[in-house]
Amino acid sequence: MSSHATLEHAEHAAHAGHAHHDGHGHGDGKLSGKVVGVTMALIAVLLAFCAAMVGSERNELMRAMIEQTQAHSDYTSASTKFRLIMLDLEKQRGALTPAANADAAPSPVLVRLLRLYLDYSSEKTLSNN
């Protein structure tokens, strides 16, 4: 077989791979290319949308975790201050003698500790909610 015949045979084989379903001929290649392009574009849009949603959910999770940590820290702080005041009140109670006059005004230290006790008690209750 000559080289010219071989080239012609290869050309016919190449054209045989393009079936003409609609009878118009050369329009099918462009149509399938457009369909593939549109499909790829839609996949890219969906992928970008999913990535944005994942990023948004991750930010929301981080915000919730930070708020939870802050609330726990506030409660721990209020609870520690409350316990320290309770210890100081116990020390003040031990320092009072039974012979102390019941009509005497409470010491300024005791008044201050009681005020702190009330403040820290309410702070602890608020931070627990």
Model confidence over 82-100: pLDDT tens digits? 888 888 888 877 666 555 5
Average pLDDT of the residues of the chain: 78
| Among 75, 82, 79, 80, residue whose Cα is nearest residue 128 | 75
| Among 92, 81, 74, 76, residue whose Cα is nearest residue 117 | 81
Pair of tokens at residue 24: 């118009």
pLDDT tens for 36-64 read 999 999 999 999 999 999 988 999 999 99
Confirm whether 84 is domain-assigned.
yes
Confirm whether 91 is domain-assigned.
yes
Confirm whether 4 is domain-assigned.
no
Cβ(82)–Cβ(117) under 8 Å?
A: yes
pLDDT at 14: 65
Confirm whether 10 is domain-assigned.
no
Q: What is the pTM of this model?
A: 0.47
pLDDT at 31: 80
| Among 86, 85, 76, 81, residue whose Cα is nearest residue 127 | 76
Confirm whether 15 is domain-assigned.
no
Query: What range does the domain containing 79 cover?
Result: 27-96+104-128
Confirm whether 22 is domain-assigned.
no
